[in-house]
Structure 1
Amino acid sequence: MFNLLCVLGPTASGKTALAVRMAAELGGEVISADSRQVYRGMDIGTGKDLEEYDYEGRSIPYHLIDIVDAGYKYNVFEYQQDFVKVWKDCKNRNVFPVLCGGSGLYLEAVLKAYRLLAVPVNEALRKTLENKSLSELSVILSAYKRMHNTTDVDTVKRAVRAIEIEEYYKLHSCIEGEFPEIHPLIVGVDVSREVRRTRIDKRLQERLKNGMVEEVQQLLEQDIAPEDLIYYGLEYKYLTLYLTGQLTYEDMVEKLNIAIHQFAKRQMTWFRKMERQGFSIHWIDGNLPMDEKVMLIRELMETGCQSSSV
């Protein structure tokens, strides 16, 4: 019997709305699997869209959103620990958990059911990497056998940290056990590349109009270092570069738009890789009416179907 519903998909696929609806249908709560939505004050740029958690006049509870301050470097080890606490709490309250997100490493770390080690800083390694470009670091990272979350590695600092983690795991094994026995139904929200591109373009313009620049400016005024915001990548990287005079507004918008499209493509590559490794992802057409998507998921939950697409 399934004890977790996982709704995954690339950015702008509509996964959050579906996860909220399913939580409402199942008497459940949503657990976020988004590596940026954990940060307070980073709302528009991370696409929290908290109004989506309201369904027919009632608020659907959500977890692992707004749990640490901007400027902090939250990691997958902490995410696993936090997820287990929330999952156990839901179970104890007889609430059905719905995991939702697009951060591949966070999702997989939970669904693989193992515990990672806390990885310390390796100053000597960082010294050897300090003059390398992002493309050079990406080549180094791709050579490791253990899969890493390349979807989020879009800054030099993040790439260095990723290599640091890989090097540590060459010498230290994962801690097996001490993880709840999870039986997930994994549903992927699939939209065509054309639809995804249109949605991303439209959403970026809406966020810029709705105060995304001002949000990043406020974070800078709170004495969060520019390099810390750049570390988070995507919106926070390019808007910080604009606000610190390193990019014009037009260049920022163009580069950010391209980066978001590339990010969505990497997300899909990650999910396909999960399938090759044995994860059964049931892909649902994201363009279907919501009621039809809900019906399909309910059928999967009732039948325990093991096919990979519907």
Structure 2
Amino acid sequence: MRTDTPLLIILGPTASGKTHLATRVAQIVGGEVISADSRQVYRQMDIGTGKDMDEYVVNGESIPYHLINIRDAGEQYNVNDFQHDFADAYQKVVTRNRVPLVCGGTGFYLYALLKGHANDTVPVNRELRIELERLSVDQLLAKFHHSESRYHALADISTRKRLIRALEISTFLDNNPNIEVDFGSETNGYLAAIFGLAPPVEIRRGRISTRLATRLKQGLIEEVQGLLAQGISPDALIYYGLEYKYVTLFLTGSLTYEAMHTKLETEIHRFAKRQMTFFRKMEKDGLKINWIPDEWREEEKIAFIIRHYREFKTDQAGSM
């Protein structure tokens, strides 16, 4: 499989403006956007996942995109599915001599692309999962941070589901110290120039709050109602977390509107913080992220990304 064309990655926490910037860069460099978002793969989950499809038309030109709307709502999708689908999308993009521009905030997916991913070799421990499902998120976090396994520094704990899987992997490694599991290899990953958006915390919080209010006005509750009306179970929607979890709890009578709004806003803020924590872990693991100052004008950000990507691509070509 051809993997010699470097990825241009734009990452950042929720509400950092990734899609807007990525599509504008793609329009200039002749790129196609490959989404690295674990929920935008689902059809009919548009408002809650922030697909912002209008951003994919720049100056009258439609920007091609991949890995958005590829699964039905109600299905499950994991990092192994993503890696397989990404490989197919990447081949289509580079075969057309286009730039593969990856945009997303699911750090675990990005890490899998860049370092390889082998946690699928760790077996499921159903008894442990049943035990962990009884614990609150705070209890799970405390248990995870008490672990000292070598997987600790790599784990994505941005959602309850991933936190439980991280504990499952950590427990397996603790109980099987002689088993070698390769959680990342420089030779297995794609080459990439990585750019990060990280607005100051107060600006990020303000954007999150404003965006949530907008999404509620745009029909977030009606979107979830529609999914439930199609026969998708409340548990299946709660599985997706954040907007789908808390709006479902409101619609099924477990939360008042006010409690739903408050809890959801709080959890999105926490989620953004966890995203940034994971990106920092990526840096500690040797992945260079070129952080772009939030105060720069859009033109400056675009010029910086294009210049550094082209330099990176030239350097890589010269080293082959």
1:160 maps to amino acid: I
**Partner Cα distance (1:231, 1:119) in 2:** 22
What does residue 219 of structure 1 align with?
227
User: 1:131–1:301: structure 2 CA closer, same or farther, 3 Å change rule?
Assistant: closer
Give the CA deviation at 1:128: 3.0
Contact 2:33 2:63 in 1 (8 A): yes
Kindly provide the CA deviation profile for residues 191-232 of structure 1, in whole angstroms up to 9, marking residues without a partner as x: 111211111111000000000000011111111111111111
What does residue 247 of structure 1 align with?
255
User: 1:118–1:16: structure 2 CA closer, same or farther, 3 Å change rule?
Assistant: farther
Is 1:150 paired with 2:152? no
Where in structure 2 are there 5+ consecutive unaligned residues?
314-320
Is 1:196 paired with 2:201? no
What does residue 316 of structure 2 align with?
none
Is 1:58 paired with 2:61? yes
**Partner Cα distance (1:79, 1:166) in 2:** 22
- 1:30-179 aligned at under 5 Å gives the runs 30-114=33-117, 117=120, 121-142=124-145, 143=147, 144-146=149-151, 147-151=154-158, 153=159, 155=160, 157-167=161-171, 173-174=181-182
User: 1:118–1:76: structure 2 CA closer, same or farther, 3 Å change rule?
Assistant: farther
**Partner Cα distance (2:192, 2:116) in 1:** 11
CA RMSD of aligned residues (A): 2.4
User: 1:176–1:252: structure 2 CA closer, same or farther, 3 Å change rule?
Assistant: closer
Give the CA deviation at 1:175: 8.5
Where in structure 1 are there 5+ consecutive unaligned residues?
306-310
What is the TM-score with the length of structure 2 in the denominator?
Answer: 0.87
**Partner Cα distance (1:290, 1:62) in 2:** 21
**Partner Cα distance (2:172, 2:86) in 1:** 23
Contact 1:84 1:180 in 2 (8 A): no
Partner SS for 1:304: helix
**Partner Cα distance (1:132, 1:161) in 2:** 14
Is 1:286 paired with 2:294? yes
Give the CA deviation at 1:257: 0.7
Contact 2:18 2:197 in 1 (8 A): yes
**Partner Cα distance (1:161, 1:239) in 2:** 25
Count of residue pairs the alignment pairs up: 302
Structure 1 runs of 4+ with >6 Å offset:
none
% of aligned pairs identical? 50
**Which of 11, 14, 20 is residue 14 of structure 2 equivalent to?**
11
Kindly provide the CA deviation profile for residues 255-301 of structure 1, in whole angstroms up to 9, marking residues without a partner as x: 11111111111111111121111111101123322211111112212
Is 1:21 paired with 2:29? no
User: 1:294–1:67: structure 2 CA closer, same or farther, 3 Å change rule?
Assistant: same
**Partner Cα distance (2:290, 2:215) in 1:** 31
